[in-house]
Structure 1
Amino acid sequence: MIKLFRVDHRLLHGQVAFSWSNSLGANAILVANDEVANSEMRMATIRLAKPAGMKLVIKGIDEAADILNSGKTDPYKLIIIVESIKDAQRLYDQVKGLKSLNLGGIKKMENTTELGIAVHVTHEEKQILKEMITSGLQIEIRQVPDDKREILVKEKL
């Protein structure tokens, strides 16, 4: 069962590993990112942030979609983490049953505007978010479970 589908440019770190997993009772984390899945060094770094007793799987976007669609993850209370809104869109387009997306951290860069605390997006990413909202995905901004939940609506983009 998917407990959280999250965009966070830091991928796996303390907020996700401990705050979210404890709050949701999660027992598995799927990091879906093409670059990380092809880098032994980045995978090793992410493995260091994994809480003891937590299952961690690191896959590219397409392989993550295949695993999610296969039913292999159904027995787990799963947190899915992607690095960007584009990765979230790719996964969302391939996986049926994703109902909500948490925007937890998207770093400030050139040509981005702030949507919420620690969430900065480009014009292109705003368009992607609008499309996902139109298709029925609920999108929230929230760094940690105790934060006030801010639901995005197209008109605010």
Structure 2
Amino acid sequence: MSTPDIVLTRIDNRLVHGQVGVVWTSAIGANLLLVANDAAAKDELQQELMTATAETAGVGIRFWTLDKTISTIHKASARQHIFLVVKTPADVLTLVKGGVPITEVNVGNMHYSDGKEQISKKVYMDQADKDAINGLIDAGVKVYIKDVPEDKEQVLQKF
């Protein structure tokens, strides 16, 4: 098993959209978008929409469950520069606990819903999100908020 070249891991509850698929992908030099999300791995319509965005950016895209990501990512080719996109902090923590070599996580968009408090302009978290972020930090993962590539990182500390 080799170490996959994960150039960026991003939490974005929208998964792949224009900002992620085009702006971030080109800024970080990724050539493969890997959406690690159990629901998206089964949702053909959602996959079609995200695939269109990936095609616009000229990159490949895969839709894997969290379990498949854990069991398969170590088989990645050295020429694959992977942009790993997940929906929630809990998803990233599951991947880290499963052995996916994630050293830092970019928190993009986590929209408001009942019970969530505002952490930054586009990031809202509830206690479960905060607990997962704390778990990532405890595992030695750098976690930061950064909406677009030119923004300054806002590194998160334990909650």
TM-score normalised by the shorter chain: which range applies?
over 0.9
Return 5+ residue gaps in structure 1 as ranges.
Answer: none
Q: Distance in 2 between matches of 1:84 and 1:132?
A: 12
- Deviating 4+ runs (over 2 angstroms): none
Determine if the alignment matches structure 1 residue 94 to structure 2 residue 98: yes
**Structure 2 residue aligned with 1:60:** 65
Return 5+ residue gaps in structure 2 as ranges.
Answer: none
Determine if the alignment matches structure 1 residue 76 to structure 2 residue 87: no
Determine if the alignment matches structure 1 residue 127 to structure 2 residue 131: yes
Q: CA deviation at 1:53?
A: 2.5
2:8 partner amino acid: L
Q: CA deviation at 1:22?
A: 1.1
Identity of aligned residues (%): 26
User: After the TM superposition, which residues 139-150 of structure 1 pair with which residues of structure 2 at under 5 Å, given as runs?
Assistant: 139-150=143-154
Q: Distance in 1 between matches of 2:77 and 2:102?
A: 13
Counterpart pick for 1:137 among 138, 141, 153: 141
1:38 partner amino acid: K
Q: Distance in 2 between matches of 1:143 and 1:34?
A: 24
Q: Distance in 1 between matches of 2:42 and 2:100?
A: 25
Aligned residue pair count: 154
The answer (yes or no) to whether the contact 2:22–2:53 under 8 Å persists in 1 is no
Determine if the alignment matches structure 1 residue 39 to structure 2 residue 43: yes
Q: What are the superposed Cα offsets for residues 56-111 of structure 1, whole Å, 9 maximum, x if unpaired?
A: 111111101222123x2442111000111111111121134210011000010000
**Structure 2 residue aligned with 1:14:** 18
Task: Say if 1:2 and 1:115 are closer, same or farther in 2 by CA, change over 3 A.
Answer: same
Q: TM-score, normalised by structure 1?
A: 0.92
